[in-house]
Amino acid sequence: MLLNEELCQKISRRIPHHSVGRYDLLPIFSDVTLFNEIIDHLCKPYEGKVDCVLALEATGWILGVAMAQKLGVSFVPVRKGGKLPYPDEMIESVSLIDYSHEKKELCLKKDAIASGARVLIVDEWIETGSQLRAAIDLIKKFDCEIIGAATISIRGEENKKQNREWIASGFVHAVGISIRRFES
């Protein structure tokens, strides 16, 4: 993983100091120069190596669409449970307990990913790794290859064992590890 410390500092300065709970990344997305730097950084290791970008609802879609366009590949949106307008027999899903300790589902239509596709998973932030783990489990239900994952920040603290393994293996490419709000 190629970390970009300068880009991390720019992101940290754009995260509002008063956001409650999760960090508010929307100001980052509204800064066209910063957003393009993030997309360029996240796409670099995957140029010519993926056939589709699969991104998690909802903020992950913002990165996912931009990355798919930059890479010239298709975009596959993963929905949260109960949001796909199809009967259950047309849907693949997996359950998870997310960072907020709530039970959720990730869902895809059964024909969402082409057979043999090389898939890149995108989410804006990896906190506990539970959503990424669930996305991997969901994609394994399809006849495709998972190339890696991309995110703005992945938490890498000692208690985040799975995240640290993904970081060490190079499976997750991020702008930074454990990006925080800039405190002046």
Q: What is the DSSP track for 16-55?
A: -TT--SS---HHHHH-HHHHHHHHHHHHGGGTTT-SEEEE
- Rounded to 10°, the helix 32-43/5-14 angle is 140
Query: What residues make up the domain containing 120?
Result: 5-158+167-177
CATH classification at residue 57:
3.40.50.2020
Count of alpha carbons within 13 angstroms of residue 109, beta-carbon side: 10
* 111 occurs within a structural domain: yes
pLDDT of residue 1: 65
Identify the residue whose tokens are 């990730």: 106
φ, ψ of residue 179 to 5 degrees: the values are: -60, 135
pLDDT of residue 163: 95
Q: What is the mean pLDDT of the chain?
A: 93
Global pTM exceeds 0.75? yes
Residues 50, 26, 126: CA angle, nearest 5 degrees? 50
For the chain, how many structural domains are there in total?
A: 1
* 182 occurs within a structural domain: no
Residues 87, 142, 104: CA angle, nearest 5 degrees? 55
* 30 occurs within a structural domain: yes
pLDDT of residue 181: 74
With a cut of 90, say whether residue 122 has pLDDT above it. Answer: yes
* 75 occurs within a structural domain: yes
What does the pLDDT look like over 45-89, one tens digit per residue?
A: 999 999 999 999 999 999 999 999 999 999 999 999 999 999 999
* 117 occurs within a structural domain: yes
Identify the residue whose tokens are 């970390």: 3
Strands 145-154 and 125-126: parallel
* 184 occurs within a structural domain: no
70 closest CA partner among 30, 113, 122, 111: 122
* 68 occurs within a structural domain: yes
* 56 occurs within a structural domain: yes
Handedness of CA 23, 28, 29, 30 (dihedral sign): positive
